[in-house]
Copies of this chain bind each other. A is one copy, B any other.
């Protein structure tokens, strides 16, 4: 397989949110994922977890943004220019979103969740349980990340 070859996926569901594009980053926002009816049974047992990983497709990222290799995190010129694999930017060769969300409710084929930073209509590619094996107690992060984090902690809570 070469980089010319393709990997093909199908959406297993879609994000449903009332939030505007500016609002989806608010961590307390609640939204829904509507799983396609043919995959409903794959949700059995999901309610035993408090948190899930949601893998979704950033369907509004323009094709040309997939060519970007370096960014200033958050578009801030005061932060260093880093490779897109060192940042959470949506400018990526494959714009897959990966977010840990809080699971509030499962009803039929609909999940109600908190904390998903996805636009309305985003295709969901996979849902995985969040468990203790994924927890790294003291990861090392760049200095620019610590700066952003410190600023975030000083922001008023929404």
Contact = CB atoms under 8 A, between A and B. Distances in A.
Interface string A41-55: 111111011111101
Interface string A80-102: 11111111100011101010100
A57 B130 contact: no
A96 B46 CA distance: 18
A125 interface: yes
Size bracket of the A interface? 35 or more
Contacts of A96: 9, 55, 96, 125-126
A50 B11 contact: no
Nearest to A50: B140
A59 interface: yes
Nearest to A38: B3
A128 interface: yes
B132 A135 contact: no
Please name the 3 residue pairs, one residue from A and one from B, whose CB atoms are nearest each other, closest first: A45-B82, A45-B86, A50-B140
28 contacts: A1-B14, A1-B123, A2-B11, A3-B10, A7-B8, A7-B10, A12-B93, A41-B70, A42-B70, A43-B83, A43-B85, A45-B80, A45-B142, A48-B141, A49-B86, A50-B139, A51-B139, A52-B85, A55-B96, A92-B126, A96-B96, A96-B125, A96-B126, A100-B134, A129-B145, A130-B136, A130-B139, A135-B135
Interface of A: 1-12, 14, 36, 38-39, 41-46, 48-53, 55, 57, 59, 69-70, 80-88, 92-94, 96, 98, 100, 121, 123, 125-137, 139-143, 145, 149
